[in-house]
Amino acid sequence: MADYHRPLSLTDGLGQAARRIPAVSMKMAVLRDGHIGIGERGPSDPFGEMRILLEELVRDLSWDVKNGAQDLKLAVQAIVDQDAAAQREWDDFGSFLDQGSGIDPWNDEHERDTRERP
């Protein structure tokens, strides 16, 4: 039974739909004289095959949605992590640049920058 205090997630809703599909049948609804139309059960056999296919398609869609959401979360986290690493590297390089080369071209000594870049 659905919890009406909490909205269903998309995967929960798809799961519920897939579980309910097998309960849908045309067998009793189309029973009739076998000489009418395509027999006494009418289109119920092809409908049953379609029902099985529909259930499998909905279950597969539920799996895709659930795992697609996880894939998206991991992709976003990878971007955030990469951005954080790039920001740290940029900050370190900014500190290096802020220190300058250590060379004063206006004095009379010949100097060399011996510092290592980060």
- Give the global pTM: 0.56
Q: Is the pLDDT of residue 81 over 70?
A: yes
Owner of token pair 């986290």: 77
Domain limits, the chain? 10-98
pLDDT of residue 3: 55
Q: How many residues does the chain have?
A: 118
Q: Is the pLDDT of residue 43 over 80?
A: no
pLDDT of residue 4: 58
pLDDT of residue 44: 75
Residue 54 tokens, joined? 């529909």
- Across 23-37, 42-56, 60-74, 80-94, least confident range: 23-37
Per the CB < 8 A criterion, the answer to whether 41 and 31 are in contact is yes
